[in-house]
Amino acid sequence: MAARKLFLNRELSWLEFNHRVLEQALDRDVPLLERLKFLAITASNLDEFFMVRVGGLQMLVDEGVMKADPARMTPAEQLTAIGARVQQMVDAQYRGWHEGIEPLLAQAGIRRVRPRELTEEQARHVEYVFENEVYPVLSPIAVTDPARIPLVVNLLLNLAVRLRPETGADDRPRYALIPIGRNMPRFITLPTQGGYHFLLVEDLVGMFVERFFAGEPVLECAPFRITRNADLSVREDLAGDLLLDMEAVLEARKRSDCVRLEADAGMTKTLLHFLQSALKVRRGGVYRLAGPLDLAAFMSLAAIEGYDELKDRPWPPQPVPEIEPGSGMFDTLAAQPLLLYHPYDTFEPVLRFVQEAAEDPDVVAIKQILYRTSRNSPVVAALLRAAERGKHVTVIVELRARFDEARNIERARELEDAGVQVIYGVKGLKTHGKVCVVVRREAQGLQRYVHWGTGNYNEETAKLYSDAGYMTCDEDLGADATSFFNAVTGYSQPQKFRKIEMAPIGLRERVLACIESETERRRQGQKAFIMAKVNSLVDTQIIQALYAASQAGVNVQLNVRGICCLRPGVAGLSENISVVSIVDRFLEHSRILRVYNGGDEKVFISSADWMPRNLDRRVELLVPVEDPAARRRLQAILETYFKDTVNAWRLLPSGQYERVRPPSRRRRFRAQESLYARACERVRKEQDLQRTMFEAHRPSSAQR
């Protein structure tokens, strides 16, 4: 079969994922402010897509690269297809805003007011705000030479101003820019008798724009915004100091090429042509938007207080029943391993694990990977305390975690100043694995306790992302954790692990071995199946192995949240493969693999998606979950995702997705709702058990 038919293009597949997010914004069954949140997410997603993926493709085109991707599309062909699909998506975004979300918000009392709609009281208020809070802060920048336009900041809202030509000049218009600073509120609250009324800051500045140009008639004023290429990285073979060179990359991004120009639909061709020429934007990179620019900023409006009826009913994370009140984490893990599934299970045990390790006098060492952390991370605070108390603390800080580079540079310096041994990952590879190992001195000798995870050590995203964590003091997994850190921090070749696998050495091979083992068993007439949950499936070698499994008769069920380059359901190729994607209130982020293995099922959690970058260019981890209770729970979680008939989408052979619909309203099944109900039920059962158990007070040893 031709390669174009074997594989779907990854960029177009990602755009289909963003469209599924957009469908949540258009779904009237979703609470209104949640719809607004999903709309903001689609805009934020597109920002990153243009910065990274489109920026990278434009660099390839500029370099004359004609090499096709696995779907047999050249970079130029991909850019053309992306432009057409994005335009469709942008049109759908703004139709959804104008025809659905904005009118319903107004009905609920959350109303955007245009300048012409202001009452006298509101007009006096906004004039006061402009004079006292906006005019003293903003500064116009004259553009005397379009070839030398001042620096326009990436993703920052600006106003482009066209002024009347000077008297006696050659009728050429004059231009100026007014950058709207990041510290300027986007929504200007207006006085009103009820509800929440607001004026957009660009409308406010536009009302009084002539105040910036005394005596100069303003012919036009319109908002615009640019997106710059962020696909820049350090040449590590030439890097002397990775931290300093990473800072140089961040600086270079401020002046990189403009890959997208978003302009208000009412902007004249004259002003648009000036911006396009001055910013050197390709024709296909111009998007005229029929509504407010930067919909991502509306995320803050979605969080407005006092409108709980327009939001999802809260699902607070549940306590972990296996952890007895008052018990320390080390006593708990000595008794049994823990399988955590966030955000249904609270992230508190992971925080306590690091915090108790910092305070415990018997803990001698902590080793941990930090990829993305929160702004005021309690994990980082605990590691700093541990170092101050004289414990040996080793932290791998990945400086190249995209768009978190600046924060990670700050973290690295803070940790180094406290005496922590900081490693900036592995040369040539991003360190993306998630593991924390604590070494504790106990009566029988040194004992290792380990947390393995699919997500970051970030207590904020742990409330929003679905991720699995496995905490254990298993001797083999503890030894593997030590070997892993020694390999990463000590310039040594990784020893053969007892149970885990690590990318780029061994993880791909282990996954392929699992797939090929099921394929061979099915060829021999045995029962075989593969179930997997990943964020992205791009790797052609794994896709080919899954095709071979399907052709052998193996039932393959895949839950792929985002990009999927595999074509399911193609006769003679993949008719035994099904692919679903779930987009719901929590971001699906966990990676789980389950294979039948002749009845002795194997279940793994992993930090790695099935993409070449994860398998070949990153340090990733694949961890078996062997504890029977933990494995059974993980199996049940995985099965739950394939039952969804509310927020699941089925991938068709064409690369399009169709929504999975229940046969009747009564048979609706929502996976995330079921997982949350199950977490609550686990807690309720434990509470019922505690109420039926009696424990006698016994005399202390001193009284005997």
Beta-carbon count within 10 A of 184 CB: 18
**CB-based contact 615:596 (threshold 8 Å):** no
State the Cα–Cα distance between residues 582 and 574, nearest whole angstrom. Answer: 21
**Residue 312: C-alpha distances to residues 24, 35, 316, 319, 676 (Å):** 13, 10, 11, 21, 13
**CB-based contact 400:430 (threshold 8 Å):** yes
Residue with tokens 């997106």: 227
For strands 174-179 and 141-143, give the pairing: antiparallel
Strand, helix or coil for residue 333: helix
Phi, psi dihedral angles at 589 (to 5 degrees): -135, -15
**CB-based contact 316:586 (threshold 8 Å):** no
Q: Which helix (H) or strand (E) holds 555?
A: strand 555-560
State the Cα–Cα distance between residues 151 and 251, nearest whole angstrom. Answer: 12
- Residue 651, classified by CB atoms within 10 Å of its CB into exposed (0-12), middle (13-18) or buried (19+), is buried
User: Minimal CA–CA distance to 390: which of 354, 363, 428?
Assistant: 363
Strand, helix or coil for residue 382: helix
Radius of gyration of the chain (CA): 28
Beta-carbon count within 10 A of 587 CB: 18
State the Cα–Cα distance between residues 254 and 261, nearest whole angstrom. Answer: 15
Strand segments, DSSP code E, in 203-315 are 218-228, 258-264, 286-289
**CB-based contact 287:253 (threshold 8 Å):** no
User: Minimal CA–CA distance to 584: which of 44, 24, 186, 15?
Assistant: 24
Active-site residue (options: 19, 342, 432, 451): 432
Query: Which residues 6+ apart lie within 8 Å of 429 measured at CB?
Result: 504, 617, 618, 619
Residue with tokens 């805003």: 97
**Amino acid (one-letter) located at 425:** G
**Residue 59: C-alpha distances to residues 52, 64, 79 (Å):** 11, 9, 11
Long-range Cβ pairs for the range 361-365 (8 Å, 24+): 362/440, 362/441, 362/442, 363/391, 363/438, 363/439, 363/440, 363/441, 364/391, 364/392, 364/439, 364/440, 364/441, 364/446, 365/391, 365/392, 365/393, 365/394, 365/438, 365/439
Phi, psi dihedral angles at 253 (to 5 degrees): -60, -30
**Amino acid (one-letter) located at 209:** V
Give yes or no: 432 in active site.
yes
Tally helices (H) and strands (E) across the chain: 21, 27
Residue with tokens 């100043």: 417
**Residue 395: C-alpha distances to residues 369, 377, 421, 473 (Å):** 6, 14, 6, 20
Catalytic residue annotation: 432
